[in-house]
Amino acid sequence: MKRPHVTSNTMNEIIQGTTIYLRPITESDTDMVLTWRNSDRTVSNFYYRTPISTEDHLSWIRNKVNKGEVYQYIVCMKEGDVPVGCVYLQHIEADTLTGETGVFFSEGAPAGKGLATEAVKLIGEKVGFEMLGLLHLTAKVMEKNTASRRVHEKAGYRLVKTVQGESCTDGEIVNSLYYIKDADKTVIPRKALIKPHTGKITETEDGYLIKVPGSKSITNRALLIAMLAEGTTVLNGVLFSDDTESFLNCMDSLGIETVVDRENCTVTVTGCGGDIPMKEASLNVGSAGTAARFLTAVLGLVKDGVYHMDSSDQMKKRPMAPLLNSLINLGCEVEYEGEEGFFPFTLKPHGIKKDETTVDIDKSSQFLSALIIASAFIKPDLQINVTGKHGMTYVDMTKKMVSESVELTRGRTPLSDEFPDKGVRPHVSYDIEPDASAAAYFFAMSPLIGKSVTIAGLHEDSMQGDTGFVKVLQNIGWLTYEDTPAGIRVSCDIGDVPHCQTDSLTKGYVPNVTIDMSTCSDQTITLAAIAPFTGKNIRITGISHIRVQESDRISAIVTELTKLGVKCSEDGDDILIDVSCPHPAEIETYNDHRMAMGFSLLGLKVPGITILNPSCCGKTFPDYFAYLYEIM
């Protein structure tokens, strides 16, 4: 399908003022822009340092716009009636709903009046976010261009990375700063001029075949195992998200050699054989729970080193004490730099001094998974005793991946299973499963959109516990599923799901259903979002530990559903949700990716649902809303 492109007659409003005005870019702008672009002032501050002819620029505009590859708008800055510069929006990527901005000035442009900052804000907020419905804007700035840096920072852009030694078109080598600005909200259903085209969704006779990204849980386990193994491992189907990027950055800080191919979703890792190259390092795990727990376990068990561990503010609220207490018991020194049992802290390992340890998994099974992986490569005969109660599906995944990656020997090993005690099996490549957690949102929305959904490559024998969420949905009569050669397929035979369940309320009998979500607790929010439409009063249990994840998810669910007019409450650590008639509201996401994705489903039946901070999905599924809007 050809992408639509924006023209002047689709612009609903033209903003004009005494200092700036907004309008679509036309070919008549070319001479003016080229004059600025090729001026001495511009050449000294811009990447396109080699002058470009008017003919070449016109050809570039025509080709890009006619192919639907670029949507161009411009904010012109004026001193009186004289144009002195412009900010443009172009290079829009429909697959990720991202646009790129740039700035040109004339030699006589006034300084210190804030025109450029005002223009950058206008092109972003009025055009990029409101009219075109983009979710992200990016800009690349030379490190030495302090004026442009100030403009973008004042306009609300944040610096995401610095690249040393990039080449301009005339061969000059410069350092580049990459900035991004995210939309602060998105409204469902979406009314925008650009329809996303992810390239990951195929329309079938009765629904959709969807390729979701690779599993976050498997990706980060695979990265750690490849890091600790000997030789080279090629990981295929890698998820690239905030969490996995944090993991990769930490690996780099530890001296682990990686080759990253984001376009083809592969990472090649040269393993260290359990001997970390860097004996002192400072790591920041961001908000990634797996990176936080897995890397802490490894660095706390090695023979020596000093490792300074920090995290995002969000991760600083999540518990680490059960794992750290186990490491201390085994001989690691831990120096806390803030509250005991939480990030930040410094690890000073001295090797493993005992043959067994105990870990409490009440708050997270990641503590156990972390020790299993680390001990498998450092002390295979370590006995791990477990206290507390938690769903073990992620632990089972960990054990399976470890056993697949190393030679096995018989005998008593941790958790009474077979674990390695010698050499690593040569590993050529490892294929990462599609993310069952990401798939769950599309399974749940199938009845809401009245279409079948098949998740390519995800099958019932998956290692991931969230694959079982389809059984939960089938058991409550929400959908039916089958495992096909293409992948798990769900469909709905209950007809159009009503927005309002007053019929169920007035018939006198509403079934009460209790659902234990301990084996797929990440989908508690997803279940809660569709619960008002199910025709059943639902009690969700087995979820006490989700209070200490990215947010207090039990409290967040009840708060936001109540805001929507849904009758719900907390009962200890259970959630009670009655059939209801939700109304539109703004959904606070608490910087929790699963709140943003789960509550977006309500917008498929309740027009006007607004999701605040949608970019928090970048933690595990950066392009989620592009997927959603392509289906709508």
Strands 333-336 and 345-348: antiparallel
Q: Would you state the pLDDT for residue 67?
A: 60
Sketch out the chain's domains with CATH numbers. Answer: 8-182 (3.40.630.30), 216-431 (3.65.10.10), 436-631 (3.65.10.10)
pLDDT digits over 437-458, tens only? 999 999 999 999 999 999 999 9
Q: What is the DSSP letter of 158?
A: E
**The residue to which tokens 């795990």 are assigned:** 285
Are 217 and 260 spatial neighbours (Cβ–Cβ below 8 Å)?
A: no
Residue (of 185, 321, 228) closest to 599 by Cα position: 185
More confident residue, 172 or 34: 172
Q: Would you state the pLDDT for residue 485?
A: 97
Task: Give the pLDDT band of residue 42 (cuts 50, 70, 90).
Answer: low
Q: Work out the mean pLDDT of the chain and round it to a whole number.
A: 86
**The residue to which tokens 């992810």 are assigned:** 198
- The CA distance from 503 to 513, in Å, is 18
The helix/strand/coil state of 227 is helix
Range from 99-113, 313-327, 435-449, 558-572 carrying the lowest mean pLDDT: 99-113
- The CA distance from 54 to 65, in Å, is 16
Task: Give the pLDDT band of residue 502 (cuts 50, 70, 90).
Answer: low
Segment 169-190 shows an average pLDDT of 89
Q: What positions carry a catalytic annotation? A: 522
Task: Give the pLDDT band of residue 408 (cuts 50, 70, 90).
Answer: very low
**The residue to which tokens 């805001």 are assigned:** 563
Task: Give whole-number Cα distances, 258 to 230, 234, 374, in Å.
Answer: 13, 10, 20
Count Cα atoms within 13 angstroms, Cβ side, for 582. Answer: 32
Beta strands in 361-470 (DSSP E): 383-387, 429-431, 452-456
Residue at 17: amino acid letter: G
Burial class (CB in 10 A: 0-12, 13-18, 19+), 234: middle
Tell me the longest C-alpha to C-alpha distance in the chain. Answer: 85
Q: Would you state the pLDDT for residue 11?
A: 41
Task: Give whole-number Cα distances, 547 to 343, 362, 524, 553, 556, in Å.
Answer: 18, 12, 12, 5, 9
Are 395 and 383 spatial neighbours (Cβ–Cβ below 8 Å)?
A: no
More confident residue, 138 or 27: 138
Which pairs from 167-172 meet CB under 8 Å and 24+ separation?
168/47, 168/48, 168/49, 169/47, 169/48, 169/49, 169/50, 170/49, 170/50, 172/49
- The CA distance from 237 to 219, in Å, is 8
Burial class (CB in 10 A: 0-12, 13-18, 19+), 403: middle
Asked if pLDDT for residue 4 goes beyond 60, the answer is no
Cβ contacts of 346 within 8 Å, gap of 6 or more:
306, 307, 308, 309, 334, 335, 337
Residue at 454: amino acid letter: T
The helix/strand/coil state of 316 is helix
Task: Give whole-number Cα distances, 128 to 135, 194, 377, 384, 597, in Å.
Answer: 8, 10, 49, 53, 22
Task: Give the pLDDT band of residue 74 (cuts 50, 70, 90).
Answer: confident
If one counts every other C-beta atom within 10 angstroms of the C-beta of residue 522, the result is 24
Burial class (CB in 10 A: 0-12, 13-18, 19+), 538: buried
Q: Would you state the pLDDT for residue 82?
A: 80
